[in-house]
Amino acid sequence: MTIEAIAPGKVIIAGEHFVVENEPGIAAAISLYAKVKLEPRSEKEVIELYSVNYNVLNKIKISEINKERIECDAIFYPFFRVMQIVLEEYGKLPSCKIEISSQIPPKAGLGSSAATAVAFSAALLKAIGAEVDLDEVSELAYEAEKISHGKPSGIDNTVSTYGGVIVFKKSEGFVKLDEVKYDEFKLVLADTGSRESTKKLVEKVRRLKNEYDEVFMPFYHAAGHLTIELAKKLSEGDLVAVGELMNVAHGMLYSLGLSTETVEKLVFTARKAGALGAKITGAGGGGMIIALTTPELAEKVSSKLLNAGAAWVKIVNVIEEGVAVDEI
């Protein structure tokens, strides 16, 4: 029995950095996927892990999985954590080959590591005959994310597991938006080709906030109100308003010193080409931008962004479905 699981990546639509101070954020699952294929092996008590993207293969005996130190390539550490938890809880793991691949660019703020962890967790639960409970899948993926990122927010694994558009707040958890008209808009992703340390950017914003606290607290609250209004307009199908609020959200991130000359060039190129809104997505300092467009204008916006020097451009859908797992 071969098992295949897919899980989507994500974008942050609004709330970057402000969620740290318990303001709401909004994120969405997108039509770029991580895939995990699990096939039975004739060699007993052995699990073989293969990363298609990195062309790396590791084998390990199931009897060694609960050891404190595991000899393997670092890219597999998060998956071994998932296997350890499943083995502890269910007392078994399958002898199998697990092939891991992803369409989602790594280190781009699009949730690549979380999506692979979500797909891996779902496939593993299916393989041992357990119920593929979404809450458990998300929790397993979160444990994997702790290996990858130390103190993850939990947003990436949540969006990848449940899909759709999710409003989240640190103190309250998340809620999935209803009535989003997914077929009425597209997102165009554009990569600036540059990266800056997320940790450094978070520290930069924290320093500003601490130094000018009385100025920044109303600013943070305004960002929170913007996120709630954007979620409301998206549920109502008012895409013009959503785009306008995305532009305002970008301006707020710009004012914190999180933009770059290349980011601004791409943002204004997208808007000039007809995008309803365009902004940084993620930590900033380069990285990715997103542009909201009608389906009819997505190709034009994409072409203009490539001509403006974007390193990579992709038109994606925001999707309602999260992780899916099947026998093939």
Nearest to 23 by CA among 254, 230, 164, 199: 230
- On whether the CB atoms of residues 147 and 117 are closer than 8 A, the answer is no
Model's pTM, two decimal places?
Answer: 0.93
Residue 142 and residue 194 in one domain: no
Residue 157 CA to residue 142 CA, distance in Å, equals 6
Nearest to 298 by CA among 312, 311, 314, 319: 314
Residue 139 CA to residue 322 CA, distance in Å, equals 15
141-156 CB burial, b ≥16 within 10 A, e <16: bbbbbebbeeebbbbb
Q: Give the pLDDT confidence score for residue 205 in this predicted structure.
A: 87
* 23: CATH: 3.30.230.10
Q: What is the pLDDT of residues 162-194, one digit of tens each?
A: 999 999 998 888 999 989 999 999 999 999 998
Residue 18 and residue 46 in one domain: yes
Domain extent, residue 8, equals 3-177+320-327
Residue 119: is it exposed, middle or buried by C-beta count within 10 angstroms (0-12/13-18/19+)?
buried
Residue 209 and residue 227 in one domain: yes
* 273: CATH: 3.30.70.890
What type of residue is 239? L
Residue 161 and residue 205 in one domain: no
**φ and ψ of 27, to 5 deg:** -135, 160
Question: Would you please indicate which residues are annotated as catalytic (active-site) residues?
Answer: 156
Q: Poorest-confidence range of 52-56, 133-137, 198-202?
A: 198-202
For residue 195, the tally of other CB atoms under 10 A from its CB is 15
- On whether the CB atoms of residues 185 and 172 are closer than 8 A, the answer is no
Cα separation values, 178 from 195, 235, 320, Å: 34, 7, 10
Total domains in the chain come to: 2
Residue 207 and residue 149 in one domain: no
Residue 150 and residue 7 in one domain: yes
Number of residues assigned to the chain: 328
Residue 172 and residue 188 in one domain: no
Residue 151 and residue 43 in one domain: yes
- On whether the CB atoms of residues 312 and 190 are closer than 8 A, the answer is yes
Please give the angle made by the CA atoms of 159, 249 and 298, to the nearest 5 degrees: 70
For the cut 80, the answer to whether the pLDDT of residue 110 exceeds it is yes
Residue 153 and residue 187 in one domain: no
Q: What is the pLDDT of residues 22-75, one digit of tens each?
A: 899 999 999 999 999 999 988 889 999 999 999 999 999 999 898 777 778 999
Residue 188 and residue 96 in one domain: no
Residue 152 and residue 190 in one domain: no
Q: Which residues contact 183 (CB under 8 A, 6 or more apart)?
A: 295, 317
- On whether the CB atoms of residues 100 and 48 are closer than 8 A, the answer is no
Q: What is the pLDDT of residues 247-259, one digit of tens each?
A: 999 999 999 999 9
Residue 105 and residue 164 in one domain: yes
Full DSSP string of 220-256: HHHHHHHHHHHHHHHHHT-HHHHHHHHHHHHHHHHHT
